[in-house]
Amino acid sequence: MTPVKGWTSVSLVLLAVAIGAGLFITWIDSRPNWDDTGITAGLIFTFSAMLGTAVPRRPWVWGLAVGGWVPLFGLILRREPATLIALAAGMAGAYAGAGIRKLLDGGGS
């Protein structure tokens, strides 16, 4: 029996990890002396790609869970629409990871 319909216990744990990682990346990005968008976007992309590879069934969830916090913080508190790039990085990473998993599983043709 799964805890939530369609989700395994491992997927739920990974969702909690993804949310925690996204919040941690957002915290780093919000520091006054942090001014490196490339590293922030790279972290979001990489972490989302790892999750997309691990559980490729719902890549949009991983992209949103990891990459959604930076734009949420940026739009609400700073009114910076450019922070939506972080969400794009999360989605790109998650779908890239899911694609890699599909190729590794032999479903690429």
Segment 56-80, tens digit of pLDDT: 989 999 999 999 999 999 899 888 8
pTM listed for this prediction: 0.88
For the four alpha carbons of 33, 36, 40 and 41, in that order, the dihedral sign comes to: positive
What radius of gyration, in Å, describes the C-alpha atoms of the chain?
Answer: 15
Residue 2 has pLDDT above 70, yes or no: no
Closest Cα to residue 104, out of 34, 64, 52?
A: 52
**C-beta of residue 96 within 8 angstroms of C-beta of residue 47:** no
Q: Each residue of 75-98: pLDDT tens digit?
A: 998 888 888 899 999 999 999 999
What contacts 89, CB < 8 A, 6 or more positions away? Answer: 41, 42, 44, 45, 48, 67
Domain boundaries, the chain: 15-104
**C-beta of residue 19 within 8 angstroms of C-beta of residue 62:** no
Q: What are phi and psi of 46, to 5 degrees?
A: -65, -45
